[in-house]
Amino acid sequence: MESMQIKTASKQYPVLIGKQAINELPDFITHELNQLNKILIITDEKVAELHLQTVKKALIKTGKPVLHYVVPEGEHAKTFEVFYECQSYCLSQQLNRKSLIIALGGGAVGDLAGFVAATFMRGIPFIQVPTTLLAHDSAVGGKVAINHPLGKNMIGAFHQPEAVIYDLEFLQTLPLQELRSGFAEVIKHSLIADKEFYRWLKSNIVDLNNITDEQFLTMITKGIGIKASIVEEDEKEMGIRAFLNFGHTLGHAVEGSMGYGNFTHGESILIGMVYALKLSGREQGLDFKLDEFINWVSSLGYQTTIPLQLEKETLLNLMKTDKKSINEGATFVLLKQLGSPLLMDIADSVLIEEMIEMK
């Protein structure tokens, strides 16, 4: 079992990572949140089938009433309608400021449940219980949100969890596409912060179907550690936290254009990372073996080109609505070298030219 503390300006909380980590949840609640009157688990349809009873069984030890509410799977959960339904359920079950929400699922459930917790009665506590590899990124740092048709995660808040309980056994049920989606964020962390970690990933992860428990523990612990160090310095994304959006400017545009849920977050971000690496070579002279990178990720099943049906002008306009952009242009996270990111405004003509190269 690995344990670390996340320290931000607003809160300090633990992250526990390991097999059967879920067994630590009731003791944490009993010792740290003993004034609770009710616990609500928000989860999605698929995760409910796989893991809901395991978590409810563990929570019996708290002696608190445990409710659950099931939402649609994936990005389909992050809508105004589902958010409203969750709030209505909280009210109907008479939750209050002494109630706790547990986000059981992947990044989408974590974002939704966290935003419900952030806004119900102006904020109640919640705990992240991730069930996907992708959620190693989203479960830490307190960014919670829902989507708008004009942009991903545009309606949200900063609301730190009380704890993150990461049971590696839950990852055993993940389909390959979800592993691929999550591993893209692991790659991102290595590129922006740790070239040795990148080399380790490239040497050790050659088949996403055969990742060992030890490899999962290494990559998740390392990835969360990288994110934690950035979040601790910049909780509200006023500076360096924007570096965590490497690959996301084009990636979010691709994901939104393909229709949320039709193209996974991580697969979209991987395309965005290839694009950002190309821009980094062009604008910052990044010395990086891009061909080797593309060969490696392609062997893991990733698409590395922009889907042919997407229009350049549509993607360009979406990139300009990205939260990093302050002016009317598009702002990108680029790399001067591995582990050394920076923000840079890129001219439309350059963006279009590189998109043509990526088709």
User: What is the DSSP annotation of 45-108?
Assistant: HHHIIIIIHHHHHHHGGGTS-EEEEEE-SGGGGSSHHHHHHHHHHHHHTT--TTEEEEEEESHH
Is 150 marked within a binding site? no
Across residues 233-247, what is the average pLDDT?
92
75 is in an annotated binding site: yes
Whether residue 283 is annotated as binding a ligand: the answer is: no
Asked whether residue 186 is domain-assigned, the answer is no
pLDDT digits over 166-202, tens only? 999 999 999 999 999 999 999 999 999 999 999 999 9
Helical H segments across 120-264, by residue range: 135-138, 176-193, 195-204, 213-233, 248-258
- Provide the 10 A C-beta neighbour count for residue 292: 10
Q: Which of 349, 294, 287, 351 is nearest to 318 (CA)?
A: 351
pLDDT category of residue 152 using cuts at 50, 70 and 90 = confident
> Is 74 annotated as ligand-binding?
yes
Q: Average pLDDT in the 336-352 region?
A: 95
Among 143, 173, 203, the domain boundary falls at: 173
pLDDT at 222: 96
Say whether 122 sits in a helix, a strand or coil.
Answer: helix
150, pLDDT greater than 70 = yes
pLDDT of amino acid 15? 97
Q: Please state, in angstroms and rounded to a whole number, the distance separating the CA atoms of residues 248 and 322.
A: 9
What does pTM read for this prediction?
A: 0.90
Percent of the chain with pLDDT over 70: 98
Q: Is there a binding annotation on residue 77? A: yes
User: Which of 266, 85, 102, 100 is closest to 184 using CA atoms?
Assistant: 266
Pair (93, 234) in one structural domain? no
> What domain range is 329 assigned to?
193-358
pLDDT in tens, 10-36: 899 999 999 999 999 999 999 999 899
Strand duo 340-346 + 330-337: pairing: antiparallel
Question: Known binder of ligand: residue 188?
Answer: no
Contact 129, 165 (CB under 8 A): yes
Residue 238 lies in a domain: yes
pLDDT of amino acid 263? 85
Q: Indicate whether 329 pLDDT > 80.
A: no
Residue 73 known to bind ligand: yes
Question: Is 331 known to sit in a ligand binding site?
Answer: no
Q: What is the mean pLDDT of residues 1-13?
A: 92
- Phi first, then psi: give them for residue 197, nearest 5 degrees: -65, -40
Q: Note whether 197 and 81 are same-domain residues.
A: no
Amino acid at 354: E
Query: Is residue 109 marked as binding?
Result: yes
CATH number at residue 110: 3.40.50.1970
pLDDT at residue 328 is higher than 70: no
Query: How many domains are contained in the chain?
Result: 2
The pLDDT score that the predictor gives to residue 94 is 97
